[in-house]
Structure formats: structure tokens, C-alpha cells
Chain A
Amino acid sequence: MCTSDLSGGFAKVKRFITSLVILLFVFSAAIIAYRIVWLGYPAIPAAPGQTWHLSIDAHVKTDGKGINMSLGIPVDCPWRMFVEERIYSGTLNFNILSEGQNRFALWSGGQAAGAGMEESIFYHATIIMRPKRFYKAEFPDSKEYVFVAGDEEKIVARRLTGKWDNLPSPERIDAIAGTVTGKWGRPGPDKNDLEAWSVMEEKHGKAKALLMLYQSANIPARESEGLFLRETATDKLSKWVEVWDGKRWLNVWAETGNIYEDQTSFLSLVSAGVPAVRMINGEIGDIRWVLVKSVTDRWGLHAERTTRSKSFLDKWSLFRLPPEFQRTFRILLLVPIGALMISILRNVVGFPTFGIFMPVLMALSFRNTGLIYGLGIFFGVILLGYFVRSFLDKLRLLLVPRMSVMLTLVIGGFTILALIGNKFGLKEFMAVGLLPFVILTMTIERFFVLVEESGTLEAFRTACGSAAVAALTYMIISWEPLQLTFFVYPELLLAIVGIQILIGRYTGYRISEFIRFRALKGS
């Protein structure tokens, strides 16, 4: 770069830099926004995911006409996503059938085997719940499911809910949910009606009775069958009522009248009154639904999602790399942050360090040795190297051969350390081989020259500065949530470049200069 170009239009350069940095930020933000809004990426990739394993295990027996069985299985929807579904059907045929808003797993066959043949089947799914995600639900078709009740029952239900007709819909929903616990409001309902109601509850079950009340009050509602979202193992599914409040579905638990606004409180298997388990032929010996909170790692989840996506960005995602190369990039993507840290610590704070990137390389090697051992080995090598270097000075070797001797000694030192580590079972000592030995050799040389030129204090300060920067950088690059964030959104590197450019144009004082020039008194 020829500086005479700059001196002419320095204001122009400043404007150009400002627009360049803004462009980098905007471009980076745009790609991230696209991924979040259109591709459904999580805004915070490292947020603890709510992952559940659902398994349905059943033993079925043929009854001569074979087996024909359908089980309700969950549907993909905005607040939950499948990362994996597995089915075992033994000798039976298997199909998945979508029916309205429900999905069914169908097992059939076994006619040839005759009566009494037993078969084990299972359905297994890994589901991610995303509770805070906003979604747009479609207005339900109220005819989609109407519970067919007797006319007499309808009239009773109508009389019971009639007094709430003037309330706005959310309050009406609350009021009707309250009836489950006997809160009928004032004026209290007719004694005969209440008695008739108890009979109906007895006859249809609490959920269906509640559903009838909502329908009589003209609130779209449907019955759902599934599981309360908590770790369970059960042979019986729960039923509850889903009520449309004008914007979304609410879940009303018919046993307590509690209203759950959060869609992810339940895992619905079927809705709109269709039974979750239907046996047309055959007989169920035993069925179990098990819901377990998963500890699946977040890397796996993101990888799973991208491999299933057909979008361009997902096809070019880092998650498509072979896993052994992915591990390298987890770290590599954070090295620029380390470099940014060094820019800030050197140019804004004024930390003295050996070289520019030596602390980054040290930080990378700390990943193998750990922080404490890494720092210990660093200072040990520098100190030992210093004495060896002082001795070598007397031998009057020329620069390059002298450096080779130092390098050989450093590697020899590593070897001894590794052998000691092996003897005492210290893995960290054996990992020293991966320390950047060339950089360490150069550092010893620089340390020695600095001691000679600027004194021991200055050299020690610089060594401590380097170690501090290396430790800080190590903590940043080994912070997994950050690794994941950059791996999911590698375009963040553009924003990092933007900040680095800004630091490059920082012409203000370094913090260390306030100390350096403290002797000056006010004018």
C-alpha cells in the first residue's frame, strides 16, 4: 500500500472504513436473521435444548385375522421438531398415515401365522421442544370435530354456560375451566341441572364433559390424547381439552381445571377425539409409553437438523464436514476472536506480549495440557531456557545454529517431561509434545534479548503479559457455547473482521499510557 494515496483523502478513507464495517455487520446479521427466520435456527444455539425421547413399546397378538393396529404418533409443528424417528415392526408391515391433523403409525399383517402369534413393535422418536418460539396458528375449523352429545345434554350444557355469554373469550375459558372444581359462579346453577351434569360427567368422562361445555359456549375446542410432558412411563394416556382463545390453542387439564398456555406442557399424540390406540384386528398384550428427557448433545442436534434440510445454506453448513474435520473448525473459528483479543489487549490496553500471535498458539496448546499445567510448563521452559541460553552465549554460536541448539534442547526437555509424566501418570505432561515448540524456542530467545536490553523486570512483565493473554484466549476458545455459536453461524467471522478493522483505526490512548505519562502535571 502506498501511503501517499492515503494522505490525499484521509477523510475519504475514514468514510470508506465506516461503510465497510457497517456492511460487514449488516451482511453478517442478515445471514443470521435469514437462518433464524426462514430456516428455523435457534437464536441462541447454545441454549439448553429441551429434548425428549418418546418410546412406545407394545406386544400384540394375532387373533386369527392377523393384526391391524394404529397408534397415534406426534406431529411436527412449530413448537416441536423431530430429529429422529425409529420404528420396529418385526414381521409386520408398517405404514405412516396422515389423517387430518393427526398422524398414525399402522402395523398390519400376520394373517398367515394364525391365532396366538405374538409380535413386539416399537416406535421411538427424539423430539426437541422449543417453548419460546412464536408461531402463527391457523384458525380452527369448528366443524372439524364436534362431540356428538344427546339433545337433552346439549340443552343442559347451554343452560350452565349461558350466563357467561357476555364475557370476552379468555375469561369465558377461565370461567368454564373453573367448573371442574365446582366453581359455578353466581347465581349458582339450578340444582337439577347440576345433578344432570354429574351424570353426564360420569358417563362421558371429565374431558368430554368439559369439551361439551366449551362447545355449548361457542368456543372452538377439541379433545387431545397424549402425555403430560414430564419423565413418565405409563400404560395409559391422558386426555385433556384444547381450547381456542382466538389466537392459539390452550390446554385445559380436565382433572384440575388448570389452564396451560405453554404448548409444550403436553405432548399430544392425537387430537380431535380420535382414539390414540385402535385395534381393528388382533389384541394388545401390553403397551407402554415412556417419555425421558434426553441428554443428547447440542452439536448432534444441530447436525441432525442441517442434514435433513434442503436449503442451500444448510447444504454448505460446516456440520456437513466429516466429524474429524469438524473438530478442527470448532477451534479454528474461534482463533480470530483470540486475535481480536490480542489486538484489544495490545492496542487499547497496552499489554506487553512476545510477538503478535505467540499467545494464540500458546492458547491452542493449552487445550491439550490444560491451563494450569500449560502455564507451569510455559514458565518452566522459559526459565530453564533462559539459563541454557545464557550458557550458550558463552559458546559464541551463530544465530541460526544457536537457535537449532535451543530447539533441540526444548524438544529434549519435552521428551523428559513426557517420560516423567508417564511414570507418574500425568497425562498433561505427556501432552506437552503438542506445545508450539518453535514458538517457545523463539520466545526464549526474545526473553533473553529483552533481559539483556531492557532488564529482568521488563522481560518478566512481558512474559506475564503473554501468559495472561494466552490464558484469556484459551478460556475464550475453549468455551463451548461460543464454539457452537460460531459453528452454527460462521458468518459471525465477518462481524469479527469488522471489529478488528475498528480496533485498527483506534488512535486513542492506550490504558498503559495513562500510567506511563502519569508524571505529567496538569498545565
Chain B
Amino acid sequence: MFPDIIRNLIENNILGMNNRNAEYIMKYNPRSFFPLVDNKVLTKSLAKEYGVPTPTLYHVVLHHGGIAELKTLLKDHSEFVAKPARGSGGSGIVLVTNHTEETYITQSGKKILWEDFSYHISSILSGIYSLEGLEDYAIIESLIHPAPVFADVTYQGVPDIRIVVYKGVPVMSMVRLPTRASDGKANLHRGAIGAGISLKDGITLTAVHHSRLVDRHPDTGKPVRGITIPHWDKMLLIAARAKDMTGLGYIGVDLVIDKDRGPVLLELNARPGLAIQLANGSGLLGRLKMVEAATPDVFETPETRVAWAKEAFATRDVKKLPE
């Protein structure tokens, strides 16, 4: 039985953790460029330079002294998101849909008091959610209104789309759909669903939930496969540009689709996870090798890279779901 498992990994060209770290991250992601993606304030200003849309930045809280003035600053925004600048895995993010000076209503409908809210901001500042546990900033930015495309397969929260980009070429993508178990967070570890996306046309493929293949969303019961994602080409282009923005050769690009603004860059990740392979039911290694073998003209512009990727990785088609 065990040799079968091993053969499966090799035949599926699965990229392992050690291989990813040694041959891709260490080789193509210079350490000095990491702050560009780890710090969302820097990512935002970079994105602005390259004309990539991101959630509108309202305010940055730099130190504990800045928390008090937040109360008055927030008067202008009825809804907003508070998150750590250097957070990871979606932790420390609070979505506020409405508020008075003293009471804040989160997206899940919970009411929190100003003291609780300011305590959270101060927790962010003292670095609880930051990658290295160092002091951090708190970002206040506009709330995303997700496009209705995933409404049937989302339990609260905002589904986000991850595209892995190698040498500027999008190689694999998935959408992470929050569930009740994941507490509305688009985090696979906590029980969100990951559905692979066909790079060619932006249609969802296989999906996994807790490392198991699934067809339907556990909470809504609606099929996860066969959903056509709008603005797909635009999203691929944003992803391809992320390489030019950051200089990182192996990167995960996280996007959300706002119902008014279209695709918006949420964050970049210099150490994108491996679960995307499960969501797609296929390995990254083969695709990475194909990119390495591509001719130089492929890499000329983001457009040529996207065009090549759509052609090269179009082999998997949507499997029709039996009704």
C-alpha cells in the first residue's frame, strides 16, 4: 500500500515541502525582497505604482498612541477592515460592517465594544499576529463586497483566489471558500474548501475539504465545480505582474473579486503553500519544469506569459457533475 502512495506523488508531479524550500523559495526569492510581500503597507504602495488595484487604504496605525485618534478618524467610514500589516494566514483580521463610536458590528453580526476593538488594534501593534512576533502596524482599509459569483458556495467571509506564479508565469490557481467550520475564514487549515481553477478559462475544477475530495459545499450543499470566474484574464495579468512588482520568482498572489471594482489584490505570499496541488488534483512540479523549458520570448511581457500559461496548462477540462 505504501509504495502506491509514493508512486502517486511521483506520478502526479507533487512538489514537496523540502523541494519547494530548497529549489524554489531559496533559489528564486531573495531574502531581502521579503518585506515587500510580508508588509502589506509596502505591497499596497508597490501595487499602486504598477496600477494594480488593492483595497483602499484609509489609515495606518503606527503605534499605541495612534489608537485614540482612530475613534474620530473612523467616523468617515461606516464599514472597514482592520488587519495587521505583517499578518499571515488571515489571522488578526476584523471586518466591520457598521459602527457607532462605541459599538462595532462585525461581518458575522457580532457586536463589539470600542474597548474590545482598541484592545485588538493594540494586540496587532504589539506583534501577536506578525510573522516574526515583532512590533507591527495596523491597517484600516476598505471592506470588500464580494462579487456574487461564489455566493452559493460561501459561508460568510470572503472567498479569495490564489494564483501561484513562477518566473512571472501563472502556473496554478485555486479559490478558497469559507465554511462554517473555518469560521468564515478563507484558510484551508481551518477547514475552508479549496477548489482548483482551470487556468485556461477560469472554471473551477476539483475541490478539497480537509484533504478529502468533495463536490459540494458542506454548508450550502451547492456544487463547487464548474463555476466560471469573471475577469479571469485580468486576474492572471495581475498575478503575472506581481513578479515585476516584487522581483520574487516564486510567489503566491491572493485576489478577491469586488462586486464594484472587480479583481483586487489582497496580498502576496513569498512562501505559498502546497495545498493548491490537492485542490487541483495535480502537482506543481511538472508545470514548474515546463516553465523552465519555455523559450525566452515567453517571458517578455506579462501578456505573453499569461498567453503561454493558458495554452500550456489547458490540459485539464471541467468534469461535468452528474445532476
Contacts and interface: CB of A to CB of B under 8 A. Distances in A.
Given A7-B27, A454-B189, A520-B12, A399 B208 contact: no
Interface in B1-39: 2, 5-9, 11-12, 14, 16-19, 22-23, 26-31
Interface in B68-86: none
B287 interface: no
A513 B30 contact: no
A514 B9 contact: yes
Contacts of B107: none
A510 B17 contact: yes
B277 A517 contact: yes
A138 interface: no
B100 interface: no
Given A517-B8, A517-B9, A519-B212, A509 B27 contact: no
A396 interface: yes
B91 interface: yes
Nearest to B191: A455
Q: How many residues of B sit at the interface, in one of the four size bands?
A: 35 or more
Contacts of A521: 8, 281
Contacts of B5: 514-515, 518
A519 B210 CA distance: 10
Contacts of B274: 513, 516
Contacts of A513: 9, 14, 16-17, 274
Interface stretch (A46-54, A314-322, A500-508): A500-508
Nearest to B27: A7
A518 B12 CA distance: 11
**A3, A347, A449: residue with the most chain B Cβ atoms closer than 10 Å:** A3
Contacts of B128: 399, 449
B8 A520 contact: yes
A314 B102 CA distance: 76
Nearest to A515: B5
Interface string B179-194: 0000000000111000
A399 B126 CA distance: 6
Contact of A3 (B28, B208, B213): B28
B278 interface: yes
Interface string A338-367: 000000000100100000000000000000
Interface in A6-38: 6-7, 10
B9 A509 contact: yes
A176 to B, nearest CB: 64
A400 interface: yes
Nearest to B25: A3
A6 B190 contact: no
Contacts of B283: 520
B204 interface: no
B213 A519 contact: yes
A160 to B, nearest CB: 73
A509 B285 CA distance: 12
A399 B123 contact: yes
A454 B190 CA distance: 5
Contacts of A174: none
A347 B21 CA distance: 11
B315 to A, nearest CB: 11
Contacts of B126: 398-400
A151 interface: no
B211 interface: yes
A150 interface: no
Q: How many residues of A sit at the interface, in one of the four size bands?
A: 35 or more
Contacts of B16: 507-510, 513
Interface string A477-514: 00000000000000000000000000001111110011
Contact of B23 (A398, A454, A507, A519): A507
A188 B280 CA distance: 95
A508 B18 CA distance: 6
B8 A7 contact: no
A4 B33 CA distance: 12
B12 A523 contact: yes
A522 interface: yes
A517 B277 CA distance: 8
B66 interface: no
B31 A3 contact: yes
Contacts of B29: 3
A521 to B, nearest CB: 7
A425 B142 CA distance: 63
Interface in A446-461: 449, 452-455, 458
Given A509-B9, A509-B18, A520 B23 contact: no
A519 B208 contact: yes
A2 interface: yes
B127 interface: yes
B173 to A, nearest CB: 17
Contacts of B31: 3
**B5, B28, B190: residue with the most chain A Cβ atoms closer than 10 Å:** B5
A507 B18 contact: yes
A2 B278 CA distance: 33
Interface string A177-220: 00000000000000000000000000000000000000000000
B269 interface: no
B54 interface: no
Contacts of B133: 399
B28 A509 contact: no
Contact of A522 (B11, B22, B23, B116): B11
B27 A523 contact: no
B271 to A, nearest CB: 14
B12 A398 contact: no
B7 A522 contact: yes
A472 to B, nearest CB: 21
B26 A3 contact: yes
Contacts of A452: 91
A515 to B, nearest CB: 8
Nearest to A504: B22
B27 A10 contact: yes
B154 interface: no
B50 interface: no
A520 B18 contact: no
- Identify the 8 closest CB pairs spanning chains A and B, nearest first: A399-B126, A396-B119, A509-B16, A507-B19, A514-B5, A507-B22, A3-B30, A398-B126
29 contacts: A3-B29, A3-B30, A396-B119, A398-B122, A399-B123, A399-B133, A453-B89, A455-B189, A455-B191, A507-B18, A507-B19, A507-B22, A507-B23, A508-B19, A509-B14, A509-B16, A509-B18, A513-B9, A516-B211, A517-B8, A517-B277, A517-B278, A518-B8, A519-B212, A519-B278, A520-B277, A521-B8, A521-B281, A522-B8
Given A509-B9, A519-B212, 13 more contacts: A3-B31, A347-B18, A396-B115, A399-B133, A452-B91, A453-B91, A454-B189, A458-B189, A506-B18, A513-B16, A518-B211, A519-B211, A520-B282
Interface of B: 2, 5-9, 11-12, 14, 16-19, 22-23, 26-31, 89, 91, 115-116, 119, 122-123, 126-128, 133, 189-191, 208, 211-213, 274, 277-278, 281-283
